[in-house]
Structure formats: structure tokens, C-alpha cells
Structure 1
Amino acid sequence: MRSQPNILFIQVDQMAAAALRPYGGQVVRAPHIDALAGRGAVFEAAYCNSPICAPSRFSMMTGRLPTSIGAYDNASELPAATPTFAHLLAHAGYRTILAGKMHFIGPDQLHGFAERLTTDIYPADFAWTPNWAAGPRDKPSGISMVNVLQAGPCVRSLQMDYDDEVEHLAVQRLYDLAREPGRKPFFLAVSFSHPHPPYTAGQPWWDRYEHDAIDMPTVAAIPVEQRDIHSQWLHVSHGADVQPVSDEQVRNARHAYYANISYIDDKVGRLLRTLADCGMEDDTIVVFTSDHGEMLGERGMFYKQTFFEPSARVPLIVRHPEVGGASRIATPVSLIDLLPTLMDWTGGARDWPEPLDGASWQPLMQGSTPERRVLCEYTDMGVIAPARMIRTGTHKYIHTHGHPPQLYDLQADPHELTDLAGRPETAQLEAQLAHAVLEGWDADAVLADVLASQRRRLYLRDAARLIEPRPSWDYQASRDDSRRFVRAHGAAGAKALARFPFVAPPA
């Protein structure tokens, strides 16, 4: 393997780890992801650092916890002055390429990437700014239970349009990289929007499953009055109080969700086959993960935005050509660990200008078992107070500012049905975790800053709607076809040079 390995980073959107066979799922058919797990390290307790898209991705790219960089919600700007792993990799001599979603908000739509092959699927402005002053029913993105009510097969969808384009351009870029003489090592991020709702799946993938074989949620719906305050807020925010769903609609949603995982798995397979066909497999680290999970009807809840395992836990599979074969790692990790891991893999740690909240996965992949803790935060729509979770050892502790905490033993109670907070027998542990979850985090200050940030951005959002033409930060992808095909200038030998592997002309 070359001294600086290539890195293929595959990220999906809203994939619950437990649905996949490497994590115990029994229904989903994803043979390419299964095969990747069979040759790599499966992190059994990997978490996002915020169970919502943009804050999760911003924290992952910067190695910082979301509130430390003001990544409060899906309309928070990621400032151009914030270093990301793409800047790190540029310093390390890498060619950095992004295909697909990264949910950048603000005028900087590259954040260190040298190339961006596609636009994003969601808006880059302040349109989705939440307003906690309006209560939990405020939902600027329009999320509702309609996705569950209308779940089923389809011929085509906006997300299929998007992900097919992401796949095509990413595969083409791998071919181009293979044919590029003397190229730099590359970091190619391929980020798909599936299996994120709506729960609509193409018929070929829907038909891979027998409808009656689709399993129902493991944990039945919990009466709303018995839920924690965070879950009660989400019940209102998602409109579940006014749009109840039937068991058959839940099964339809789960069927479509599983079908969409199979749809994504086909794309993962094609990326991996292209890597192998181009002779780059032995020089390339492959990382597969998601930005957060999906409740998918568990506890009577859908979507994300909560710290329960289906929402906060993510799949994380790493295939490293020089670090053994299949292995399973039980130590808790999170997505903010990606940046320090890249430092280890690429030698790019020199002169990094910011503190880091994560730690490299590399020692764990080499057999070390240090004590680790994971922090996860939530400050987006659906809640009206900042919330934070800590996972350490086998326990999870949840702090919702101004409300009772929650404590779960995930080894004894993997479905989080028994809240141990307030019990005499766990008082000492609870006190320790209550201290740890708030260490270096002032909830009152976070609350004040979130509210102030929302007021500013709501004012700017409304002003933008009055400006003609309306300003736009959305990335517009473009390509130069004159470099790709035969043209009058410099056309000689273009077809021969595009053949891979190259065959020299006869003497």
C-alpha cells in the first residue's frame, strides 16, 4: 500500500445501524455492505454527535462538538474560517472531492474540498431556522407523519434523481483518477440522501421483500403521557398527535425503508467494484457510515432528533488494507473521531490550529481498548431547550435542560425501557454522569446563544424573501466537457488515452 492511502468515504442519510445484518438485523438485504463488514472493522457502538443532518456533518468535518462551533440546527452556518478535515487533507497533499450531500449552510460551499461534483439536495440558506419561541410545533422543514401515511413503492422520486447522479459522477471520478498520471492520493466523499424519508422506494427494490415478512417495531408505541419530555415535544413537532398512523402504514414505511437500504447497497457495490476494477482497492481505505439513525416506528416514533439508540447510533464500518480482516469493536466512538483518525492515516496532524473533541479510531482497530466516552447534542426544531447525551461504558445518560434526566443500562436494557434515573441504587453513577455530561458545557449559556442565533437568522431569512432577485448560496455544479471528449483542438489520441488500462499504440 502507498505511504498515503486513498480514502473512499461513503456516507448515507438516516440509516439505523440495527437494520443491517452486521448489527443484528435479520430482514434487510444489503450484501455489499455485509461483505464490506466481513473484511473490515465493525464499530458496534458508533454514534452521531447530533441526531440531525447539518449539525452532525459539521461536527464530523471539524472534529468539534456541535454547540462548540454554533452548529445548532439545519440552518446554522458553518463559517468559512472553521477548519475542516478537507483543509487537513489539503495540507497532507490529498486531492479532495465531494459527490453528494453535505448540507453546508452559508456562502462557503466547499469548506476545503478541491472539487464538488454535485449540488446539494437541501437549501443552503437560513430557510429552515427553528423558532423555539413558537413552541415545539414549529417545524420549518415541514416534517410530518405524511411520509408514513403515504409510504409505498414508486416509479421515480426526487431522491432517486439525486442519488443516481451522485453514484454516476462518483464512479466516473474513480475512473478518471485511475487514468490520471502521477496523481495525488485522493479523498473521495460520496454522500447519498437515502434511506432518508420519504418512505417511497423504487419498485425493483420494493419487490426484493415479501411484505408480510417485514418485521414490526421491537418496542411498541409508548403512551404519550408516559414518554420523556423530549419525546413528547417530538410527538407534537412531527404532527403525530393529529396524524395517527395504522399498523399497516407502519409496515409500509418499514418496507420502503428496507428497500431503500437495498437501493443504496447496490450503489455501494458499484463503488467498491469500480475501485477493484481500477486496481486501487489495495491502496484505499473505505469508510461506510451515516449521519444519524432513524426511529422507524420504535416506541411509536419516526425520524430522528432523539438520543434513543435507533436515532443516535450509526453504522460505522472501516476496511483498511493494512489493519487485519474482520473485527468487531465494542468501545463507544463517534463521528467527531473521523478527523483525528485522518490525522493518523495521512500524517496530516502538523499545525492543526483548533482543539479537537474526538480521538482516533486507529488504536481501537489495532486492538487497544481504552476507556472512551461519547457526547451527543441536540438544539434543533422539535425541542425548546438544549439537550445533551453521554455514553460511557454500558450506560447512557440524557440531560434535557430544565427537565428530569434519563439513565439507561444498555447492556441489561438495550431497548431503553427502564429509566434508572432517581433510583437509590444508581444514585452514585447518576451523579457521576450528571457531572460528566455538563463538564465544559453551560446549558444556560447554550440556551441564550441558541435563542439569539435564531432571532438573527429569522430576521435575515425574512429579509432575504423581500430581496429581488433573491440571493442564493446553493451550490451550482458544472463540468467542462471540452476536456472529456474529442474536440478539434488536441483531439489526437484522446480515445486511446481514455482506455483503461492504457494500451500503447503499435510501433
Structure 2
Amino acid sequence: VYDNANEIASSLPTMAHFMRAQGYQTFLCGKMHFIGPDQLHGFEERLTTDVYPADFQWIADWSAGPAFVPSGTALNGVVEAGPCIRTMQEDYDDDVAFQASRKIYDLARSEEKKPFFGVVSFTSPHTPFNVAQRYWDLYDHKDIDLPAVPEIPFAALDYFSKALFFAHGRHRHSITEDHLLNARHAYYAMISYLDEKLGQILDQLDETGLGDNTIVIFTSDHGEMMGERGMWFKQCFWEWSARVPLVISDRRAAKNIRIDANSSLIDLLPTFIDFGGQDMASLRPAIADLAGHSLMPLLSGDASAAADCVIADYLAIGPCVPCRMVKKGAYKYIFTHGQPDLLFDLEADPDERVNLAEDASNAPIVAALKKIGMDGYDPDMLINEIVASQRRRSFIAKVPGKKPDWDYVAFQGDAERYVRRDGVDTTKSRLRLPRAVTIPPDLPEVSSTMIDRMMRGEIDFQK
């Protein structure tokens, strides 16, 4: 999977298959953004419509370079940030919470008492940064903080960040301090909105008697730059974007353990399998193909068992070349194909301001991290595979005639309530109450030729 318009093969076992193999019933409630005709991928039921489209709409286009600014990455979600009466994201998340609540009651009243594995997936907090007034009012605007790292001048950015500068539409809008404060205020409020939903689920598990025998894992698919370094959204390896929450609550286990070792979302599936606790003989052939390491030893307090290593890839919009991060201990190495290496010591430099790779004395650290994460990594082969995939999917998406109807729709009318062919920005703006007044770009238009020259360092971007 290279970008948000890639399908997962139905022949690939997922966490839902593994849990069903151990005797669990499975359900999916909320956003999952599956692409293609398989909208279950092992889950026995979906309780809600998906908020995003399932066809080949959001294909990254490396032939367009960083000038390719798809829907959902323009800065309108930032410059139009603030309170409102209602958002489409709240419509969706309220439905997710209701369907999850009803499912929990159904599980509690079931006589079968079969163990369950459920995913409840909300959209909040997420751009555009708008939120209902009552959550906005939980915070005093004068207490909202500005980014810890101010905007970095374009000429001083690394290649990856320069590419996202254009792919995220930062060349279209000026961002003022008011924009920063409004967006960050709304983001905090959206977190409080989500926190309320999570509290309701936890209370309901206790109310129904399921709480003592249910493991709850809270995590996310990405972070949010929120103006740090002048950047927004995600899609990069800086800590604000790449780091996600991971909280595991198991009442049978030790309490209040904070694990500082590096771990990854790919560690969750091996952990789920261990949680299942069934005979592993039948699963071993499939488990052998899994990346990641079970977190079970860490949850018992054995920090010595930690792999303490994360490898992450980025292959979508912006740089238009393979990018990889390797993090081991406090050191983070960032590879951008064809560009200078980046190395940071997160313990000494948590804001990632000093590139240690520029100092030749740190070459052994770079070499050690490359050995961990770059052996067998072939960026040139990846480029060929990715570009071929983009061409195939783009060809299918542009074929005239009836488009494929792959969207998962649980209830009549849902297809009109959420994001489909109108695009992310247009749909979320149209469904905001009151309807958003679109703020047009205030900066001069920049041609793709000029962007190419700026990326090559021939000219600087001056607002």
C-alpha cells in the first residue's frame, strides 16, 4: 500500500482473520478507508458507513512532483479554523459512538458469550479544524500555546519538508498568529470531544459488566504537525506527525506502567494474537510472515525484551521518491532517496533541530541505523513499482462510463452525508453548519516550473 488509493489484497490475512482463528467474533465500527470491492477484510460485520470513498480517487501522482496538491491538503482547514454549530466529522463520530454503544449492549445481553474483537474508529481530531461551540468553550483562547518550534525559512528546509511545503499548499495561504491559535484551539477542543466519546465507551463496558474482561487499546494512525516548524497535517517523520498515542488497559495486568521503548503499530497484531491466548500451532505458518514484535513482555514490566526499534516508510505525495525512517533508542535516521541523510538525537534534541548527519564523527551511528533498516531496501525498484501502480490505477479511474460502486454504505442516505466524489475539502466545507465561507489563496500563483526551480535550490520561496 503506497497511498490512500491502494487496495489491500483479499488474500492478505488481517488482524480480524487472526482473531477469528482464535475463536473471536469480530466487528468494525467507523472509519477504515478500505479501497476496492473487499470492504470487510476478515471482519464479520461493519456497523457504519465509511466516511471516505472506496474507489481510486486519492492516487498520488509522482509525475506531477510536489506541485500536486490533492483535496484534503490545502490550508483552508487551517485558515478557516474555529468554532461552529456542527461539522460533518461530528455527524460521523456521533454515529460511530451510537453504533458502538448498541453493539456493546448486544454483546452484553448475548447468551453465547463468545469473546469479541472490535475496532471503533473515529475521525476526530482531524483537519479541518472546526468544532462545536461547547467543546471550543472548554478552553480559554488566551491560554492556547503557539508552536514550540517556529516556522523554518524555506531555504533552510530539508528536501522532504520543501516538497510537503508545496504538496500541503503552503505556497497558497499566509498563516497568521490568529490562524495558528484558532487551529490549535480547535484541535484541543476536538480532542476533548473524542475524549468524551471514549469515556462513554469505557463507562458502558463497566455498566454492562464487560469492563473487567475486556482489554482496551487506544491508538491512532498518525499525529498532527499543528504549525510546528511551520508545517501542518501529517505525512512526514517529524515527531509531531509520526508519533501516536498507545494506551493499553488490561485490568488483569500491572497498572501505571509507562514504556519508553520505541514501538510501532505493526507490533499490535502480534500483541493481539498473544492476547487471544489460544493454541498457536495452527497460526504459526501465518505468524511467521508477520513483521513486528509482541508487546506482551513489556506489559509485564520486562523492558529488556524490547526491540526498541521502529522502521516507517512514506511513499505518497510530496517528495515523490522513497522515504524511510529508522528509529532506535534515542536516534532517528531519515532517508530521502537522492538527498542528504538526516540524523537526530531525540534525547538531546527533542525538537529535531540539529542534523547530526552533517558531522562526519556521527557516521558510525548512521551506518548502524542503515544496517538495521536499509539492508535489502531497494529504492530504485520501489520507484518503478510505485509509478507503475499509479499509472494502472489512474487509467482505471479515468475510464469513461459507470464508476465502480465499492463504497460501504450501512444505512440509506449515508453516501450523501459523507465524503465521496466531491472531494474532502468541498464536502466538509459544504456540510459545516453554518456553511463555511471559503477563504481564497492570498499568495500569488506559483507555476510547476517555478516549484521545480525552488526544489532544486535555484531560487528561494519568498512570501
Q: Given that residues 333 and 342 in structure 2 are in contact (C-alpha distance below 8 angstroms), is that contact kept between their aligned partners in structure 1?
A: yes
- Supply the distance in 2 between the matched residues of 1:225 and 1:472 (Cα, whole angstroms): 45
Q: What amino acid is aligned across from residue 438 of structure 1 in structure 2?
A: M
- TM-score, length-scaled by structure 2: 0.86
Structure 2: gaps spanning 5 or more residues:
413-463
1:437 is matched with 373
Hey, what does 1:486 align to over in structure 2? none
The SS at the match of 1:97 is: strand
Cα distance per residue 1:393-418 (max 9 Å; x no partner): 11000000111110000000011011
2:71 corresponds to which residue? Answer: 141
* CA distance in structure 1 between the aligned counterparts of 2:376 and 2:49, rounded to whole angstroms: 37
Distance 2:389 2:334 in 1: 24
Counterpart of 2:352 in structure 1 is 416
1:335 maps to 265
Distance 1:124 1:130 in 2: 15
Structure 2 residue 187 is matched with structure 1 residue 260: no
Equivalent residue for 1:355, pick from 267, 271, 289: 289
Amino acid at match of 1:367: G
Distance in structure 2 (CA, Å) of the matches to 1:137 and 1:215: 31
Aligned counterpart for 2:155 among listed residues 203, 221, 225: 225
Equivalent position SS for 2:68: coil
CA distance in 1, matches of 2:86, 2:295: 39
Q: Deviations over 1:4-29 (max 9, x none)?
A: xxxxxxxxxxxxxxxxxxxxxxxxxx
Partner of 1:392: 328
Does the CA contact (< 8 Å) of 2:257 and 2:301 recur in 1?
no
How far did residue 244 of structure 1 move? Answer: 1.5
Q: Which residue of 2 aligns with 1:483?
A: none
Trace 1:76-115 onto structure 2 (pairs within 5 A).
76-115=6-45
Matches of 1:441 and 1:363, distance apart in 2? 29
Q: Is the 8 A contact 2:220 2:245 kept in 1?
A: yes
State percent identity of aligned pairs. Answer: 47
Q: Which residue of 351, 368, 387 corresponds with 2:302?
A: 368
Helix, strand or coil: the match of 2:131?
A: strand
> Which residue pairs with 1:472 in the alignment?
405
SS of equivalent residue, structure 2 residue 343: strand
Within the candidate set 232, 240, 244, 2:170 is matched to 240
Give the structure 2 partner of residue 191 of structure 1: 121
Change (3 A) 1:82 1:116: same
Instruction: Say which is worse superposed, 421-430 or 293-302, in terms of deviation.
Output: 421-430
Alignment match, 2:429: none
Residue among 94, 112, 125 paired with 1:164: 94
Structure 2 counterpart SS, 1:327? coil
Asked whether the equivalents of residues 147 and 226 of structure 2 are also in contact (C-alpha less than 8 Å), the reply is yes
What is the rounded CA distance, in whole Å, between the counterparts of 1:426 and 1:308 in structure 2?
20
The code of the aligned residue for 2:401 comes to I
CA RMSD of aligned residues (A): 1.2
In 2, Cα distance between the equivalents of 1:444 and 1:394? 29
How far is 1:437 from its partner?
2.4
Return the alpha-carbon distance in structure 2 between the equivalents of residues 435 and 242 of structure 1: 40
Is the Cα–Cα contact under 8 Å of residues 117 and 478 in structure 1 kept in the other structure?
A: no
1:347: Cα distance to partner? 2.8
Q: Which amino acid aligns with 1:302?
A: W
Q: Which one of 205, 214, 226 corresponds to residue 296 of structure 1?
A: 226
Report if aligned partners of 2:217, 2:246 keep a CA contact under 8 Å in 1. Answer: yes
Contact in 2 for aligned 1:395/1:407 (Cα 8 Å): yes
Q: CA deviation at 1:276?
A: 0.3
Tell me, in whole angstroms, the C-alpha distance in 2 between the residues paired with 1:139 and 1:448. Answer: 22
For residues 160 and 182 of structure 1, the distance between their equivalents in structure 2, rounded to whole angstroms, comes to: 34
Which residue of structure 2 lines up, in the alignment, with residue 326 of structure 1?
A: 256
For this pair of structures, how many residues does the alignment match? 406
Q: Given residue 117 of structure 1, which amino acid in structure 2 is its aligned partner?
A: L
Taking the aligned partners of 2:238 and 2:72, their CA distance within structure 1 comes to 22
Q: Secondary structure of 2:195's match? A: helix
Q: Indicate whether 1:177 and 2:80 are aligned.
A: no
Deviation, structure 1 residue 478: 4.7
Q: Give the Cα–Cα distance (whole angstroms) in 2 for the partners of residues 188 and 393 of structure 1.
A: 32
Give, in whole Å, the separation in 1 of the partners of 2:223 and 2:297.
Answer: 26
Check the 8 A contact 1:105/1:124 in 2, yes or no.
yes
Kindly state the Cα deviation for residue 72 of structure 1 after the two structures are TM-superposed. Answer: 0.4
Q: Secondary structure at the match of 2:391?
A: helix
Aligned counterpart, 1:67? none
User: Per-residue deviation at 1:425?
Assistant: 2.2
Equivalent position amino acid for 1:455 in 2: R
